[in-house]
Amino acid sequence: MRWEARAAATRLASGDVHGVALTWVDNAGLTRVKTIPVARLAQVAERGVGMSPVFDVYLVDDSMTTSRHVGGPDGDLRLIPDLGRLTALAGQPGWAWAPVDRHDQQGRPYPGCQRLFARRMAALAAEHGIELRMGFETEWIVQRGGAPACTGPAYGMARVAELAGYLDDVMCALTDQGVEVLQLHPEYMAGQFEVSVAPSDPVGAADLAVLVRETVRSVSLKHGLTPLFGPAVVAGGVGNGGHLHLSLWRDGKNLCRDGGGPFGMTAGSEAFLAGVLHALPALLAIGAPSPASYLRLEPSRWAGVFQCWGLENREAALRFIAGAPDDPDGANAEVKCFDPAANPYLVVGSVIAAGLAGLEAGAVLPAPVQGDPAAGDGSADAGPAPARLPRTLPEALSHFDRSDMLRGALGEVLFEAVAAVRRAEIELFDGKSPQEIADATCGRF
Ligand code: GLU
Ligand code: MG
């Protein structure tokens, strides 16, 4: 480790990098940081840098609550950078970045660490002989002086022309950092864009979600623009999603295709996806964690508010993509009901835990749904309309509180901290209007 760190520090120092930003994401979904001079990297890689555990009960407005295990001024943790992810930041000259795992003062893994949780769940999947490939989509609304930074239509080429220099810089900065961009496009809302990147291992996908967002942020600021990553910017309008794509692999083969199950999925991937679908009401407390998330979760906005799945159905919470016959990587599933307020490490870990529970139970998927359930098109077998997912954070939290599966996977410390933050944010925004909630949160993530 020490040698690796020294090599990395030398490599960085020979360029124009002076500081390294060490980030982790708290339970409210905010990326927190300590920065160090590059010369300290070798030492910090070994001993870490200190940070209070109280940030695990910080809220979106920087006030704090307490959980059964966390809170108050006492204690310290060590942030240990993952040097395998060390990246010179193209959009932020002078700086490099690395995500951290958090350990206690004795060097033991900290049970409240979200990234270590994601690692544990990925390792558990590996014990089941499953490797997951995951990727987050990043959506944001970009403003200039409080108004959308472009006026062109939804998905319109006019927006690319208006902001050509900015979008070029976003794409180049990501590419320069070794991030493989799949696509970048204007989205529905005024000033809204989306970028998606190539899939990765689960922890890598969560790291990438952080890196992509921070890259978009720094490039936006350089252009005098303000990027808003909150789930709701305009109450009553389409929000920002943080969709998660996933596929299951074994021995280099994609288990989402060439099987005997629905649309070619194997029995294993069907069981895994059925586990995820079943757990969605509780998973919303992880993937749609803010009171603002529920301003976004409305039908007919492609946010996936129904607890159902369908082939290429953008109104289903779980959208299956069969992929082209000559594209073995193409088959995957997309969880659409999650948003960018979510901690991506908690998302990947919790989704794996839910999927493995489905796998262990040999779960099967219900009939797929075609069309918009809100439009009354009905399911393919004309069965009852699918259930709406929780419409409020308290509703999602009550499913979370009752989920032994998530409690077991997250462990007491992390589970209780997440629940405490959700409860406190419910209280924080109690009685506020939808637009007040959107305004207070959209620029925080
Ligand atoms: N912005 C939509 C959401 O809130 C998603 C649009 C899309 O399907 O990409 O999730
Ligand atoms: Mg989108």
b/e map 279-297, b = 16+ CB within 10 Å: bbbbbbbbbbbbbbbbbbb
CA of 239, closest atom in ligand 1? 4
What is residue 383's predicted lDDT score, i.e. its pLDDT?
Answer: 64
Cα of 140 vs centre of ligand 2, distance in Å, is 9
Q: Which residues have beta carbons under 5 A from ligand 2 (an ion)?
A: 194
The answer to whether residues 127 and 258 touch, using CB atoms and an 8 Å cutoff, is: no
- Ligand 1 atom at minimal distance to the Cα of residue 301: 2
Please tell me the distance from the alpha carbon of residue 338 to that of residue 318, in angstroms, as a whole number.
11
Rounded to the nearest angstrom, the gap between the alpha carbon of residue 256 and the centroid of all alpha carbons in its chain is 21
Compute the distance between CA of residue 242 and CA of residue 346 in angstroms, rounded to an integer.
13
Q: Between β-strands 316-321 and 306-311, what pairing exists: parallel, antiparallel or unpaired?
A: parallel
pLDDT of residue 384: 72
352 neighbors 257 (Cβ within 8 angstroms) = no
| Site to substitute for ligand 1 among 238, 315, 337, 445, most atoms within 8 A of C-beta | 238
CA 77 vs CA 25, 38, 52: distances in Å: 14, 21, 6
Q: Mutation test of ligand 1: which of 182, 240, 319 has the most ligand atoms closer than 8 Å to its C-beta? A: 240
State how far the Cα of 93 lies from the Cα of 103, in Å rounded to an integer: 29
Test site for ligand 1: of 137, 155, 188, most ligand atoms within 8 A of the Cβ: 188
Across the strands, what pairs with 64?
Answer: 58
Q: How many CA atoms lie within 13 A of 269 on its CB side?
A: 28
Q: Where are the domains of the chain?
A: 2-108, 119-441
Q: What six digits make up the tokens of 438? A: 């959107």
User: Taking the chain, what is the end-to-end CA distance rounded to the nearest angstrom?
Assistant: 32
Q: Which atom of ligand 1 is nearest to the CA of 336?
A: 10
Burial class (CB in 10 A: 0-12, 13-18, 19+), 2: exposed
Report CA(121)–ligand 1 centroid distance (Å).
27
| Nearest Cα residue to 26 out of 88, 100, 92, 137 | 100
DSSP 390: P
pLDDT of residue 2: 60
| Assessment of whether the complete model's pTM goes beyond 0.95 | yes
CB count in 10 Å sphere of residue 151: 12
Q: Helix 202-222 to helix 344-361 angle, to the nearest 10 degrees?
A: 150
Give the C-alpha separation, 331 to 316, whole Å.
Answer: 17
Nearest CA among 282, 342, 352, 349 for reference residue 111 = 349
Report the SS3 class of residue 124: helix
- What is the secondary structure of 13-38 as a DSSP string? HHTT--EEEEEEE-TTS-EEEEEEEG
- Which ligand 1 atom minimizes the distance to the CA of 242? 10
H or E segment at 51? strand 49-51
Residue nearest to atom 6 of ligand 1 (CA): 302
Query: What is the DSSP-derived secondary structure letter of residue 386?
Result: P
DSSP state of 433: -
Please enumerate in sequence order all residues whose Cβ is within 8 A of that of 100, keeping only pairs 6 or more positions apart, or say none: 22, 23, 24, 48, 79, 80, 81, 82, 115
Architecture (CATH level 2) of domain 2-108: Roll (3.10)
What does the pLDDT read at residue 1?
46
- What's the pLDDT at 128? 97
Which pLDDT score is estimated for 3? 62
Ligand 1 site residues (CB inside 6 A) read 139, 187-188, 194, 238-241, 296, 301-303, 314, 336
What local confidence, expressed as pLDDT, does residue 380 receive? 46
Amino acid at 63: S
Same fold, 2-108 and 119-441: no
Strand, coil or helix: 193: strand
Residues 6+ apart with CB under 8 A from 273: 265, 309, 318, 320, 333, 355, 358, 365
Q: Are strands 332-335 and 77-81 parallel, antiparallel or unpaired?
A: unpaired
Question: In tens digits, what is the pLDDT along the chain, a chain of 445 residues?
Answer: 466 676 677 677 777 899 999 999 999 999 999 999 999 999 999 999 999 999 999 999 999 999 999 998 889 999 999 999 999 999 999 999 999 999 999 999 999 999 999 999 999 999 999 999 999 999 999 999 999 999 999 999 999 999 999 999 999 999 999 999 999 999 999 999 999 999 999 999 999 999 999 999 999 999 999 999 999 999 999 999 999 999 999 999 999 999 999 999 999 999 999 999 999 999 999 999 999 999 999 999 999 999 999 999 999 999 999 999 899 889 999 999 999 999 999 999 999 999 999 999 999 999 999 998 888 655 445 567 799 999 999 999 999 999 999 999 999 999 999 999 999 999 999 999 999 999 999 999 9
Closest atom, ligand 1, to C-alpha of 231: 4
Strand partners, 102: 79
Instruction: Provide the token pair at 261.
Output: 């199950």
Task: Check if the beta carbon of residue 331 is closer than 8 Å to that of residue 323.
Answer: yes
Determine the pLDDT at residue 72: 87
Reported as a single tens digit per residue, the pLDDT across 17-41 is: 999 999 999 999 999 999 999 999 9
119-441: CATH topology is Creatine Kinase; Chain A, domain 2 (3.30.590)
439 with 325: CB under 8 angstroms? no
